[in-house]
Amino acid sequence: MSKTILLIGTLDTKGAEFAYVRDLIQARGLNTLVLNAGIFESNLEGDINAVTVAQAGGGDLGQMRAANDRGGAVRIMTAGVAKLVPQLYADGRFDGVLSLGGSGGTAMATAGMRALPVGVPKIMVSTVASGDVAPYVDVTDITMMYSVVDIAGLNKLSRQILANAAGMIVGAVEQPRPAAEDKPLIAATMFGVTTPCVNQVREQVEAAGYEMLVFHATGSGGRAMEALIAGGFIEGVADITTTEWCDELVGGVLTAGEHRLEAAGQQRVPQVVSVGALDMVNFWSMATVPEQFRARNLYQHNENVTLMRTTPTETAQLGRIIAEKLNMAQGPTVLMLPLRGVSALDAEGGAFWSPEADTALFDAIRTHLRDNVELVELDAHINDAVFATALADRLLQLVSAQKAN
């Protein structure tokens, strides 16, 4: 059965470009489904017209045309695209999605792409793809392709770029999924300074018949993990490295936002949580560290990343936050404390060794944690084998018990 590609675009301004891409895809034997998010009349008809998109976004196309408010129109059409695209996918109408546009078209199309499951091919050819694409991609698997020239007519260069994009989406949807045994998924969080612990946990978890997805705790990593948990993909969580809360609290550059540590509890997914790398806040190069922090204990991780040791006041706040988040959990939850240090730098003689700060963290957790969360304290460092073994064993017990019920 032939695959179908969804094309999302503003056909009133880029009809020729979309017709060119559509024809290339159809020439390869695939079907196309064209969604028109443009405001004004177009020579290219969309299978899903602009009236439908505007209505889905809560607007009236006639009124939008009369108002001549581009910003307002983009907001309405973006909302419409975000609503319609996942509905079309759920109805089995397409297998992959391709779009091309400037900043407005990129905002509209990627709003729909972000609403799709991970794994659905998503390609965005954009004039803004060479800059900061985080607002468009967020924590999804959208592929951003820089258009090099503006998407304003067909020429020798743009035809080649658009042809490449068409070939990419065709290849992506026709690529057979490699044969592999589908195993239940365990999610884990890691930083370089907690890698020994996570690696050992992974070995134990995978030896027990699970597959472990490791997320780098860089803000986007934590949010990606939370999204997959909320989506029902994950059967257990080894949230070893909760460091993103340091950046959220203090003002670092790798925050995962205020809802970090919520999804597993809300979805009743068994979780074993620890306090990995709560000794550090992240900044980019040393020159980017805010002036008010220049006198703090700073560590140059590399020329692009600078770490700052959290203070006892900050770790006490972090302990309270971690406890309060876990207190809300509706599923099996264990919090494990490594009393001899929370990262590779927080070891005796290390750059961030601070028994005072760690004690403030642990005491705050003990004070605020409720009885619905099991608290386990080990006289070990987070990267000690005994700690990783205990964490993996407890997680496997929780997941096994959940399955039995």
Residues 20-33: tens digit of each pLDDT: 999 999 999 999 99
pLDDT at 178 over 90: no
User: Where in the chain are all domains bearing CATH 3.40.50.12030?
Assistant: 185-404
For residue 3, the model assigns a pLDDT of: 97
4-174 maps to which CATH number?
Answer: 3.40.50.12020
For residue 158, the model assigns a pLDDT of: 96
What is the sign of the dihedral through the CA atoms of 131, 132, 136 and 142? Answer: positive
pLDDT at 181 over 90: no
11-27 and 156-174 helices, crossing angle to 10°? 60
User: Where in the chain are all domains bearing CATH 3.40.50.12020?
Assistant: 4-174
User: What homologous superfamily does CATH list for 185-404?
Assistant: Uncharacterised protein family UPF0261, NC domain (3.40.50.12030)
Q: Could you tell me which of 223, 56, 66, 265 has the C-alpha nearest to residue 139?
A: 223
Burial of 90: CB neighbours in 10 Å, binned 0-12, 13-18, 19+? exposed
pLDDT at 242 over 90: yes
pLDDT-based confidence at residue 170 (cuts at 50, 70, 90)? very high
Please report the beta strands in 14-142, taking only residues with DSSP state E, as ranges in sequence order: 31-36, 96-101, 122-126
Mean of per-residue pLDDT scores for the chain = 96
pTM of the model: 0.88
For residue 182, the model assigns a pLDDT of: 86
Rg (CA), the chain: 25
For residue 74, the model assigns a pLDDT of: 94
Q: Which helix (H) or strand (E) holds 367?
A: helix 355-368
pLDDT-based confidence at residue 365 (cuts at 50, 70, 90)? very high
